[in-house]
Amino acid sequence: MFRQLQRRAVRRRPFPDAWLATLRSQVAAYMQLGAAQQAELQKRILVFIKEKTFEGCLGLEVSDTMRVVIAAQACLLELGRRPHYYPDGVSIFIYPSAFVSTLTETLPGGMVARREVVRIGEAWRRGSVVLAWDATLQQSCGLLPGHSVYAHNAYAHNVTLHEFAHKLDGEDGSVDGVPDLGGLDGLGPNRQAAHATWAQVMSRAYRELVRQVQAGELSALDPYGATNPAEFFAVATETFFASPLTLKHTEPDLYKVLSGFYGQDPANWPAPERRR
């Protein structure tokens, strides 16, 4: 109750001019929203930045630009839904660039192996999200593949949306590609119907991506989504927001289900460039 009152007060605060300039120049998605959506996103950004901790790694000094760019995209995912503000994600760690992460794996026979991987983003099961700032900013600005140092293929990438999609997925207790689907009008009249529709469409699309990857065929979604259902949900989310027209055209059922879940229709955002 106290938290709700506190959030209501924060939402009423004026949105700083410098932050608005950041949204307009560094967050491509913001410029594609209608005026009412932009106003609501600003209020949610105020709450998100008030409640979350941002920490720079390897000597990186966290700026307001970083806070606003990351908050805008995290809040964009929830913009068509009642916001939860990622209740278990309280800290965002920001590296200047790609970082090395140590993975621990238990091999058959019980041996534990450690290996190092280079990453631009990570979502921890409890708590934190880790992001590489250069990739985060480039993708927020909507740089096309070929103009970004991290674009290793022709797919639309957005590491911030990807990692926060994992956080949404985990809100029901497990990161398994099935987020909490309760009360979604867009997916069916009740929870059971929503689950059935989700399971049918998502599993068909996932199986098709796995088949395409194994057959070496060109796919609408980044092949990384074939890793497992959780990565499929995160990759599909990136494509839904970063390349909505392509997804709607190539995977209409998947687009419809994601549109129902997110309560948004980015293929029809009222931005002038999308009307052409």
**By the criterion CB under 5 A, which residues form the site for Zn ion?**
231, 234
Handedness of CA 167, 80, 273, 244 (dihedral sign): positive
First to last CA, the chain: 46
**Beta carbon of residue 264, minimum distance to Zn ion (angstroms, whole number):** 21
**What whole-number distance in Å separates Cα of residue 148 and Cα of residue 162?**
17
**Beta carbon of residue 231, minimum distance to Zn ion (angstroms, whole number):** 5
**Beta carbon of residue 269, minimum distance to Zn ion (angstroms, whole number):** 25
The answer to whether residues 224 and 157 touch, using CB atoms and an 8 Å cutoff, is: no
Strand 112-119, strand 121-123: pairing: unpaired
- Cβ distance to Zn ion smaller for residue 194 or 202: 202
Handedness of CA 28, 47, 83, 94 (dihedral sign): positive
- Cβ distance to Zn ion smaller for residue 224 or 269: 224
- Cβ distance to Zn ion smaller for residue 44 or 167: 167
- Cβ distance to Zn ion smaller for residue 192 or 228: 228
**What whole-number distance in Å separates Cα of residue 7 and Cα of residue 44?**
9
**Beta carbon of residue 166, minimum distance to Zn ion (angstroms, whole number):** 6
Which 8-state DSSP code applies to residue 5?
Answer: H
- Cβ distance to Zn ion smaller for residue 194 or 231: 231
Residue 173 three-state SS = coil
**Beta carbon of residue 176, minimum distance to Zn ion (angstroms, whole number):** 12
